[in-house]
Amino acid sequence: MSDVKSKDGEGWFYSEKVKDHFFNPRNILKTKKEADEYSKEADGEGEVGSPACGDVMKIWIKVKDDKIMECKYQTFGCASAIASTSIFSTMVIGSKIEKALRITPKDIVHVLGGLPANKFHCSVLADQAFKKAVEDYRKNQ
Ligand code: FES
């Protein structure tokens, strides 16, 4: 574990889990081409921007029998946003939609083993984009 200094000199602590999911993000779509292709076959998509930092998160889901079968994403966000959404995707895949909707940003941060306080908003992107993807899926039913 390391304690990296932020620009303003405050300590930033990243857990091993954050680092693992940042360096090896699960279910991420890395290129525009991958995202374009996946968006054609996904059942729902949601996009949000963070008022706190201006970063953007896009999530796609595939659903079968009310269960999240796949959850992929693309983000122009920071390391914490990537780690949060990576772990979030592993939490929702295989869950019923209603159960997945009950996962909060606080739960994401807890499973990650914590995030620096000024990075909490990064975990909110996953939650909000996922909710929009579910809304989009339901609209098309
Ligand atoms: Fe923008 Fe983390 S700082 S998502």
The answer to whether the beta carbons of residues 60 and 134 sit under 8 Å apart is: no
Q: Is the CB of 77 under 6 A from ligand 1?
A: yes
Instruction: Tell me what the pLDDT averaged over the chain comes to.
Output: 92
- Residue 71 appears among annotated catalytic residues: no
Q: What pLDDT is stored for residue 105 in this prediction?
A: 97
- Closest ligand 1 atom to Cα of 52: 1
Give the whole-angstrom CA distance, residue 88 versus residue 108: 6
Q: Which fold has domain 16-139?
A: Sufe protein. Chain: A (3.90.1010)
Nearest to 138 by CA among 6, 21, 44: 44
User: Alpha carbon of 65 to those of 49, 60, 141: distances in Å?
Assistant: 30, 17, 12
Per-residue pLDDT for 139 more than 50? yes
Give the whole-angstrom CA distance, residue 55 versus residue 17: 22
Q: Is the CB of 20 under 6 A from ligand 1?
A: no
- Closest ligand 1 atom to Cα of 55: 1
Give the domain ranges of the chain: 16-139
Give the whole-angstrom CA distance, residue 114 versus residue 112: 5
User: Where residue 7 falls among pLDDT bands split at 50, 70, 90?
Assistant: very low
Give the whole-angstrom CA distance, residue 136 versus residue 116: 32
Distance 88 CA to ligand 1 centre (A): 16
- Residue 53 appears among annotated catalytic residues: yes
Summarised one tens digit per residue, pLDDT across range 68-125 is: 999 999 999 999 999 999 999 999 999 999 999 999 999 999 999 999 989 999 999 9
* Catalytic position from the list 29, 35, 68, 122: 122
Q: Is the CB of 75 under 6 A from ligand 1?
A: no
Per-residue pLDDT for 1 more than 60? no
Q: What pLDDT is stored for residue 12 in this prediction?
A: 63
Query: pLDDT > 90: what percent of the chain?
Result: 83
The answer to whether the beta carbons of residues 33 and 89 sit under 8 Å apart is: no
Higher confidence at residue 8 or residue 85?
85
